[in-house]
Amino acid sequence: MDITLIRGDGIGPEVMEQAVRILKETGADLQFEEYDAGIPALERCGDILPEELMESIRRNKVALKGPITTPVGGGFRSINITLRQAFGLYANVRRAFSYEGIDTPFKNVDILTVRENTEGLYCGIEETPDEDTAKSVRLITRKASQKVIRYAFEAARKLGRKKVTAAHKANILKETDGLFLRVFSDIAKDYPDIINDTVIIDACAMKLVTDPGDFDVIVTTNLFGDILSDLTSGLVGGLGLTCGNNIGDDAAIFEAIHGSAPDIAGKNIANPSAVICASSEMLHHIGYEKEARAVEDALRKTFREGRCLTADLGGNATTAEFADAVINNLR
Ligand code: NAI
Ligand code: MG
C-alpha cells in the first residue's frame, strides 16, 4: 500500500525516521512516497505546498505527517490548516490516555477529543481594516458541525464509550456556538445509548485538570479543540505522547499533536512516541489491525518497563534509543 510521507521540519525528521523504522519492522506492506512541505519545500523547490504532494495524497488517500513550522505573526499560512481544508479532513481525533509507567497526577485518564478541523476561528478569514484594528471571522456551518458531531457519536458507539460532551461558549458566542449546540442536541437524539452533555469551555478547562475522569468523548470547535487537546495531552505526560488523526471522507492524515519543537530540534532528544502512536493509528485505519496493535503494545511495554525514556519523561534516552526499545518490544 502506498503512503504519502511528510517528514516535516524541526524535530520532524528525527521523530519520523523512528516511526518509519518501526513501521518497516511491523512487516506491513507499505511503500512511502516522500515529499517536503513548508520551509524545506520552499528551500528545495520554491513552493511551500508542492502540487505533487497534493496529488500523492489524492491518490493514496493516506498520509503520515511530521510537524511543520508555521511562522508566527506574518509569513505563509499554516500548511496543516491548508491540508485539512483542502482534503475536507473534518474531524481531528486526539486520544489522551494514561500509560502505565508514566507518573502523572491522575491515573486512568482516557479522553477522546474530536475537534472540528476545517472552519471556526481557523477558517482563514482575517483582515486589518486599519493599522489599529484587526479582525477574524469565526465561521460555523451546520454542515461541518453535523459532520464532526456525528463522527464523535459514531466513534463513541464504535469504541464502547459512554458519554459525548460538547464544549462551547454559547453564552457569549450566541450565534456561532448556538448553532453548534443546536446541531449537537439534534444529533444526540439519534444516539439514545450514549449520554450527551454540554459544558462551557472555561469551566471545561478547570474540570479537566481537577476531575478528568468525568470526561469520555469531547466534541468541540476548532480553536477550543486545539487548546483542550494539548491540555489533555499534558494530563497524560505531555505533547510527546499524543497523536492526532485528521479524518475526512476521501483522505486521512496521521500526525502528532505537537509542533516542530524548535527548542530541542537537531539534538536527538525528542520523544518519538506521538508519531509512533500516529503510525499505529494509521495502520489501524488501513486495515493492518494486528500490526497496529503490536505497535501500541510495544509502546505501552516500553513505558511500563520505564528503563528507556526520553528527557521529557525524566529519562536520558535519545530519540533513536527509545525507538530501539520499542522495536525490541515488537518482537
Ligand atoms: P511545540 O509542540 O512544537 O512545542 C511545545 C513544547 O513541547 C516545547 O517545549 C517542545 O520542546 C515540547 N515538545 C513538543 N513535542 C515534543 C516531543 N516530541 N518530545 C519532547 N518535547 C516536545 O509547540 P510550539 O513551540 O508552540 O510550536 C512550534 C512550531 O510548530 C510552530 O511553528 C507551530 O506552528 C508548529 N506546530 C505544528 C503543528 C503540526 O504540524 N501539526 C502542531 C503544533 C504546532
Ligand atoms: Mg495545536
Tell me what the mean pLDDT of segment 63-90 comes to.
94
The torsion region of residue 28 among left (phi > 0), alpha (psi -120 to 50) and beta comes to: beta
Ligand nearest to the CA of 232: 2
Q: Is the dihedral of CA 81, 84, 90, 95 positive or negative?
A: negative
Any ligand 1 atom below 6 A from CB of 278: no
Predicted confidence (pLDDT) at residue 73 exceeds the cutoff of 90: no
Which amino acid would we find at residue 307?
R
* Mean pLDDT (the chain, rounded): 97
CATH fold label, 105-235: Isopropylmalate Dehydrogenase (3.40.718)
1-93+238-331: CATH number: 3.40.718.10
Q: Do 1-93+238-331 and 105-235 agree at the fold level? A: yes
pLDDT tens digits for 87-129? 999 999 999 999 999 999 999 999 999 999 999 999 999 999 9
The residue to mutate among 82, 231, 260, having the most atoms of ligand 1 within 8 angstroms of its beta carbon, is: 260
The pLDDT, as a whole number, for residue 36 is: 96
- How far apart CA 215 and CA 91 sit, in angstroms, is 19
Best CA proximity match to 173, nearest among 226, 221, 232, 119:
221
Question: Which residues lie closer than 8 Å to 42 by C-beta, 6 or more apart?
Answer: 48, 76
What backbone torsions phi and psi does residue 130 show, to the nearest 5 degrees? -150, 170
- Burial code (b: 16+ CB inside 10 Å, e: under 16) for 274-308 equals bbbbbbbbbbbebebeebbebbbebbbbbbeeeeb
- The domains of the chain are located at 1-93+238-331, 105-235
> Residue ranges of the alpha helices (H) in 165-310?
176-188, 201-210, 222-235, 273-285, 289-305
Is the CB of residue 125 less than 8 Å from the CB of residue 136?
yes
Q: To which residue does cell 466513534 refer?
A: 155
Residue whose C-alpha is closest to residue 78's, from 238, 269, 223: 223
Task: Kindly state the average pLDDT of the residues 252-261.
Answer: 97
> For the residues 285-305, what does the mean pLDDT come to?
98
Q: Is the pLDDT of residue 216 over 90?
A: yes
Rounded percentage of the chain residues whose pLDDT exceeds 90: 97
- Report pLDDT digits (tens) over 132-144: 999 999 999 999 9
pLDDT at 295 over 90: yes
Predicted TM-score (pTM) of the model is: 0.97
Chain segment 6-48, per-residue pLDDT in tens: 999 999 999 999 999 999 999 999 999 999 999 999 999 899 9
The per-residue pLDDT for 74 is 85
Which ligand has its closest atom nearest to the C-alpha of 272? 1
Partners of 32 in the β-ladder? 3
Q: Could you give the count of Cα atoms lying within 13 Å of 202 in the half-sphere of its Cβ? A: 4
Q: Is the dihedral of CA 40, 273, 117, 147 positive or negative?
A: positive
CA 227 / ligand 1 centre spacing (Å): 13
- Residue 234 C-alpha to ligand 2 middle, in angstroms? 12
Inter-CA distances, 26 with 20, 22, 298, 326, 329, Å: 10, 6, 11, 11, 11
| Cβ(30)–Cβ(23) below 8 Å | yes
Residue with the nearest Cα to atom 17 of ligand 1? 240
Q: Mean pLDDT, to the nearest integer, of 238-258?
A: 97
**Residue 165 three-state SS:** strand
Strand bridging mode 110-116 / 91-97: antiparallel
pLDDT at residue 331 tops 90: no
Q: Which residue in the block uniquely carries the three cell numbers 523504522?
A: 21
Q: Ligand 2 center to residue 224 CA distance, Å? A: 10
Contact between residue 219 and residue 118 where contact means Cβ atoms under 8 Å apart = no
pLDDT score recorded for residue 193: 97
Residue 75 confidence (pLDDT) above 90: no
237 alpha carbon – ligand 1 mean position (Å)? 14
Which residue is closest in CA terms to ligand 1's atom 5? 261
Nearest alpha carbon to residue 98 among 303, 327, 281: 303
Mark the residues whose beta carbon lies below 5 A from ion ligand 2: 226
Collect all residues with Cβ–Cβ distance below 8 Å to 78 and sequence separation of at least 6. Answer: 68, 70, 122
- CA-based max dimension of the chain: 62
Name the residue at shortest CA distance from atom 1 of ligand 1.
Answer: 259
Q: How do residues 163-200 score in pLDDT, each as one tens digit? A: 999 999 999 999 999 999 999 999 999 999 999 999 99
Residue 321 has pLDDT above 90, yes or no: yes
Q: Is the model's pLDDT at 255 over the cut of 90?
A: yes
